[in-house]
Chains A and B, each alone.
Chain A
Amino acid sequence: MQGFIKEHLRPLAGSVGLHVVLVGALAIAALRWTSQQPPVELAIQGYLVDGPAKVRPLSEPREAPVEQVPPPVEAVKPPEPEVEPPPERKAEEVAAAERAAAEAREQQLAQERVAQERAAQLAREQAAAEAQAKRKAAEDAERKKAEAAEARRKAEEKAQAEREAKLRAEREADLQRRLAAEEEEGAAAAARAGVMDEYRLMLVQTIERNWIRPPSARAGLECTLYVTQAPGGTVVDVKLGPCNGDQVVRESITTAVYKSSPLPAPRDPRAFERRLEIVFRPKE
């Protein structure tokens, strides 16, 4: 990874630099633009203020389509025809006029019929549209409800997931802490074991240096001393345990222990042990 970075440092640096320059230029331009166009700033403010009002309808059942449909009757209604001819015309003219009137009536009736039909049609359509709109609205509402429920559910799920994640994280953290603590404890114990070995070695070497082996201390000898030391290492008591050696050997080992007083102290005071069991078992 590091090798990769090193190898591609120059192109990477170039690309990053280029981006920095571009972004910087854009940022400067934007800054200049915004500072030179205060009205736009106002306009942006206005949008921001309008934002919630525009968003609100989205969450409500939609009624706008119904309002937007123009009243069909008014829109389709034809201009009113001239029904009354001028009275000073002749019979033919009257008859023609009557025919014409009849035709006009006919026409009017037809028109009215058509209009009625159209109106009915329109009404039907309107009703259908309304029904559809209602249905749609209901559907929308239903969907919204469902969506809201879904959102709630999702939110709840998310919250639950977050709670669980948090709990998991806490547990994990706790575990890590405990593990760390245990590890620390283990390390401390190990360190103490090291200190212990060192302490033991110091004690053994001190006593061996001070033990002048008498001629009768040969291989096969095994003598135990129970030694009590004070915290400063001062030997306060030496008791002879099992011992197959003669009086001279007993004298010599007891002397060696007293002569070693004060006994060496461990590096870690916790390794100090008041009571020692010292076994003299010389190799030939």
Chain B
Amino acid sequence: MQAMVATRKSRAGATLLALVSLLFTMPGHAQLRLDITQGVRDAVPIAVVPFGGQAEGGSNDIAAVVANDLRMSGRFAPLERRDMVTRPTSGAEIRFEDWRLLNSDFIVVGRVEPDGAGLAVSFELHNVQTGASLLAQRLPSNEKGLRATAHRIADLVFERLTGIPGAFSTRIAYVAVDGKPPAQRYRLIVADADGFNPRTVLESREPIMSPAWSPDGQDLAYVSFEGKASAVYVQRLATGQRSRVSARAGINGAPAWSPDGRGLALTLSRDGNLDIYTLDLRTQTLTRVTSDEAIDTEAEWSKDGQSLFFTSDRAGNAQVYRVRLDDSRRAERVTFTNGYNARPRLSPDGKELAMVTLDRGGYRIAVMDLASRNLRVLTDARQDESPSFAPNGALVIYATREGGRGSLAIASSDGAFQQRLSSDQGDVRDPAWQPFGPRT
């Protein structure tokens, strides 16, 4: 009886298995279901083929500019030129299998052609793996504007492949110092995001500090000691026209633009102690925000313009606080991780703060998520300072010091990568990344 039961059982099992194996072998109906729960964070391999109609290796080499931009973003790994077997300049010339063998996922091809009095740059973006055409545009340009056109192409490719607007056409402001005291020379420089085309906005024998972009990207506010004392200036880049907006007794420092561009937050010592003030640029109305005995400085506006983040040592060491402008008597401490957090800078989406943090014995750049208060350290040097978000939020530019000399570096805001920007401009500091401003 037991044997019978067992037999019946095993037979039922066998029948089930037989059914399963039948299903299993039944052609056409079955679909194997796979669950993909993770991917890699690798840089996307992309081939940017030298553009037709121009010599390779010149300063206007469009493909080189595009490839460098994409590489600088940390999200792309452009194929080395020496590995390219062919030089297609249009989609029709691409033999996708060649590029598949080179492990490229995407390919950018294009050419420069005369267009009336100027030039036109055509480019195409294709998916090597699927053969799909993703972008095809023709951009008007000219001999002097080829690099700008290249940055524009990089922006378009970056956005098409990441969903994030490219920031390669924006610029950065920074301060370069050369010479030794007392014969030092300070220059306020504005350059392309890739460091090319540096243009000196202001030159002085006295220190220049803390450049800050207006929200529309048209003006720079900065601190200059050119009058032997600190003063805050606002300068329109396009015209060079500038105005001194604050030259009060004592320290005038750390300007920050309000989101509507109408005002500045400043650090002043006119009342005997360093505190945060707001200044209405049209009415010149000055409003005191903090009045703590400790040092309050380095203000940054919240996205809604209703409150300020700032650095204060009121708890004994530097930490970041937040104060509402309509209730400025109470400041809320924002940072608790690590014994030193300073120089808060808001991400373009307003959700994160970049700052300098004392992390494992080094001053490093970190990003804090305002909702979760989680701090992630992006860099690993000993003396990193002055973080500033790229307008697309994907990168943070900052200053790093090595051997007494400052240079600029870029870190991806997810911490995945960092890269030093080469500079031949001596000691470089205080970088600020230009906002998108009104898009054209």
A residues sitting closer than 8 Å to B (CB atoms) are 175, 179, 182-183, 185-186, 188-190, 192-193, 196, 199-200, 203-204, 207-217, 226, 238, 246-249, 251-256, 258-259, 270, 273-283
Contact = CB atoms under 8 A, between A and B. Distances in A.
A182 B10 contact: yes
A62 B210 CA distance: 144
B105 interface: yes
Contact of B127 (A199, A251, A277): A251
B31 A255 contact: no
Given A208-B39, A212-B105, A279-B34, A188 B163 contact: no
B252 to A, nearest CB: 40
Interface string B9-52: 01101100110110011010011111111111111100000000
B10 A196 contact: no
Contacts of B414: 215
A128 B10 CA distance: 75
Nearest to A266: B32
A205 to B, nearest CB: 10
B38 A276 contact: no
Contacts of A217: 39
A207 B34 contact: yes
B162 interface: yes
Given A200-B34, A251-B161, A255-B127, 16 more contacts: A182-B11, A182-B14, A185-B17, A190-B17, A200-B32, A209-B40, A210-B40, A211-B38, A213-B39, A216-B163, A255-B105, A256-B39, A273-B30, A274-B27, A280-B36, A283-B38
A223 to B, nearest CB: 9
Main secondary structure of the interface of B (DSSP, over half): mixed
Nearest to A258: B129
Contacts of A278: 33-34, 36
A277 B34 contact: yes
A247 B21 contact: no
Nearest to B76: A212
Interface of B: 7, 10-11, 13-14, 17-18, 20-21, 24-25, 27, 30-44, 105, 127, 129-130, 134, 160-164, 394, 414
A279 B127 contact: no
B34 A186 contact: no
List 6 A-B pairs, minimum CB-CB distance, nearest first. Answer: A211-B39, A213-B39, A258-B129, A182-B14, A273-B32, A248-B163
Nearest to A261: B129
Contacts of A258: 129-130
B31 A276 contact: yes
B38 A208 contact: yes
A185 B14 contact: yes
B302 to A, nearest CB: 24
Contacts of B394: 215
Contact of A188 (B10, B21, B30, B134): B21
A193 B32 CA distance: 12
B36 A259 contact: no
Given A182-B14, A186-B13, A247 B163 contact: yes
Nearest to A252: B39
A281 B38 CA distance: 8
B134 A189 contact: no
Contacts of A279: 33-36
Contacts of A282: 36-39
Given A179-B10, A192-B24, A254 B32 contact: no
Contacts of A192: 21, 24
Contact of A208 (B25, B36, B160, B161): B36
A277 B32 contact: yes
A211 B40 contact: yes
B41 A213 contact: yes
B164 A215 contact: yes
A204 B32 CA distance: 11
29 contacts: A175-B7, A182-B11, A182-B14, A186-B14, A188-B21, A196-B24, A204-B36, A207-B34, A211-B36, A211-B39, A212-B40, A212-B44, A214-B161, A215-B164, A246-B163, A248-B161, A248-B162, A251-B161, A254-B130, A255-B105, A255-B127, A275-B30, A276-B32, A277-B31, A278-B33, A279-B36, A280-B36, A281-B36, A281-B37
Contact of A275 (B11, B32, B161): B32
A78 B347 CA distance: 159
Nearest to B161: A248
A100 to B, nearest CB: 101
Contacts of B21: 185, 188-189, 192
A40 B285 CA distance: 152
Nearest to A216: B163
Given A196-B24, A248-B162, A275-B31, A212 B36 contact: no
